[in-house]
Structure formats: C-alpha cells, structure tokens
C-alpha cells in the first residue's frame, strides 16, 4: 500500500501544540466540562497512523471470557508502546495469541485500513500490580509478529519518542489520541463504539513522581495512548515526540494522568525497544 502522507505531520501543519498561558487547576473528571474530543481526520496521517487499537481477550472468572480494549503506539519497526493494564482481564495476564492489534481502524474493526497484527512478545515491569488502579509502572512494550506493518505499508515510519524530565513538561500542550469505548455515539453497524480514533489536547498542569496530570479529555479505551508534545530536536527542527503513556482517566481524587518516559520507565522502554528491534523475526 502506498502512503501518500509519509512526510506530513498533521499536528505541526495545524499548529495545535503552540504554547498557551498559565494552567488552571484541574478537576477530577475524565471529561473536563464539555467533551471536546474530535474524530481523527484521516487514519493514514502522521501521527494517527501509528496509534493502534489493542484487543486482549481472557477469562473473567466462572468460565466466562471478556475483552480489554486499549490503545498504543508503533515506535519502531515491530515495537508497540502502551499501558500494562491493557493485557489483563479478570486480574490475569492474557496469552499472547489472544491479543489483536490493529492500525488505521476507522469504524470497522474487521477491516482496519493499515492492517491487523499478532503479538510475539509482551514485556511488563516485574513490579507492576494489576490489582492497583494506579501504578507508577503501568507500561508495556510489545513486539509484533511478522509480517509487520512496514512490510505492508510503504513509507509507514513510526512515532519518535524520547526521555524527558516530567518537570520539563509542565505547561506544555499534550496531544492524546486513541480508541475510547464511549465514542462514537452513532450505533452499530455504521460506527460501532471504540472503532474510531478520537483526539484532544490541553495542558500538562502538574507532575508528581514521574506522573503527568493534564486537562486532556479521555475515557476508557484510550489507556496506552502516547502523550505527544512539540519539542525542538538536536538538528534544529521541531517535531511531535512521544514523552509519556496515558494510563488513567480520572478517579474521584485525581485528574487524567499518564507516565512520563523518564528514569526507570525510560530504561525499561529503551531496553525492550533495543531488544525487540534487534531480535530476529518469527
């Protein structure tokens, strides 16, 4: 498949991540005021084409099965960055062969524009506890099984990412796009819920112990989405870079939040990224 948008960055073209004023205090709501999320304009555009939907099927107890839905991001030829809790159903880690990853899902999960991919490897920090609603190790690095997206999509590329101190990100505009379970509202079969990518952006207003807190509207299904900001690069260019992983919609205490790619999280991502990108394909 030819990719006509290989060199376009929709976020930069729209000038959406420009700095704004001092942040306002946040409320513990997953939707801050009016829901401002918007449907993805084109799943083949950068960065939407690298944001995937994750479906993990496992046992919920009593012999019944259930599916956990989440989002993630292609950060290499075969590497997906996401949240660890996307792979737990009924408190148990699902089997690799029961995980389905799609790119370019746009209203029809059975025929995603950029393909469906199987999983060969799921790396989760050893201290991650699936019984905890909030975990500072809620991150996962996933290896895809061949054939890979780049084998089928010409000039697909992948999302760039970097380690940045969380404190450096306060007041930055954060962009989060993923597959929420409450959108769109149009009933099946035209647009079944969580089969369309939705995005929103707003400020990162606070940080604590490697967590980022922001006013970006999110709901369930968007866990694992990359947190993108606009950063200057070493070569003088400006680009949109993943600096974190969205982990939780708001609780009754804390606002929407995610983990910064810094410290031990950055080491974990880097080590497994290097391992997966250098390992032979199965």
What secondary structure does DSSP assign to 87-115, as a single string? GEETTEEPPGGGEEEEES-BS-TTS-TT-
Along the 282 residues of the chain, how does pLDDT read in single tens digits?
A: 555 555 688 888 887 776 555 554 444 455 666 788 999 999 999 999 999 999 999 887 777 788 899 999 999 999 999 999 999 998 899 999 999 999 999 988 889 999 999 999 999 999 999 988 889 999 999 999 999 999 989 999 999 999 999 999 998 999 999 999 888 766 544 556 789 999 999 999 999 999 999 989 898 899 999 999 999 877 778 899 999 999 998 776 678 899 999 999 999 999 999 999 998 876
- Phi, psi dihedral angles at 174 (to 5 degrees): -110, 135
HSE at residue 189, side-chain half, CA atoms within 13 A, is: 3
Name the residue with tokens 């148990």. Answer: 92
Can you tell me the distance from the alpha carbon of 9 to that of 7, in angstroms, rounded to the nearest whole number?
A: 7
Provide the residue count of the chain: 282
Residue 145 CA, chain-centre distance (Å), reads: 19
Question: Is the domain defined by 16-278 classed in CATH 3.30.1490.100?
Answer: no
Dist. CA 106–CA 115, nearest whole Å: 11
Q: What is the pTM of this model?
A: 0.88
Assign 3-class secondary structure to 53-74: EEEEEEEEECCEEEEEEEEEEE
Contacts of 185 (CB under 8 A, 6+ apart): none
Residue found under tokens 């799609």 = 102
Could you say which DSSP state residue 9 is in? B
Angle (nearest 5°) at CA 259 between 105 and 234:
85
The Cα–Cα gap between 93 and 101 comes to: 16
Cα 140 versus chain centre, distance: 11
């Amino acid at each position: 498949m030819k990719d006509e948008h290989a060199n376009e960055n929709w976020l930069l073209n729209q000038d959406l991540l420009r700095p704004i004023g001092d942040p306002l205090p946040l409320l513990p709501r997953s939707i801050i005021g009016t829901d401002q999320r918007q449907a993805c304009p084109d799943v083949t555009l950068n960065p939407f084409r690298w944001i995937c939907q994750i479906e993990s099927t496992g046992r919920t107890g009593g012999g019944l099965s259930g599916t956990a839905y989440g989002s993630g991001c292609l950060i290499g030829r075969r590497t997906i960055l996401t949240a660890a809790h996307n792979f737990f159903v009924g408190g148990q880690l699902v089997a690799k062969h029961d995980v389905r990853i799609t790119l370019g899902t746009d209203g029809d999960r059975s025929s995603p524009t950029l393909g469906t991919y199987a999983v060969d490897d799921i790396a989760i920090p050893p201290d991650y506890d699936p019984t905890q609603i909030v975990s500072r190790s809620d991150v996962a690095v996933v290896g895809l099984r061949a054939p890979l997206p780049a084998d089928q999509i010409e000039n697909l590329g992948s999302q760039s990412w970097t380690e940045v101190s969380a404190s450096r990100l306060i007041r930055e505009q954060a962009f989060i796009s993923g597959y929420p379970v409450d959108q769109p509202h149009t009933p099946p079969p035209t647009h079944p819920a969580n089969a369309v990518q939705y995005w929103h952006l707003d400020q990162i207003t606070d940080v604590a112990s490697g967590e980022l807190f922001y006013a970006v509207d999110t709901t369930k299904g968007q866990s694992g989405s990359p947190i993108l900001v606009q950063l200057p690069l070493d070569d003088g260019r400006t680009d949109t870079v993943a600096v974190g992983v969205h982990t939780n919609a708001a609780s009754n205490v804390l606002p929407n939040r995610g983990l910064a790619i810094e410290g031990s999280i950055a080491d974990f991502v880097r080590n497994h990224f290097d391992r997966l990108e250098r390992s032979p394909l199965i």
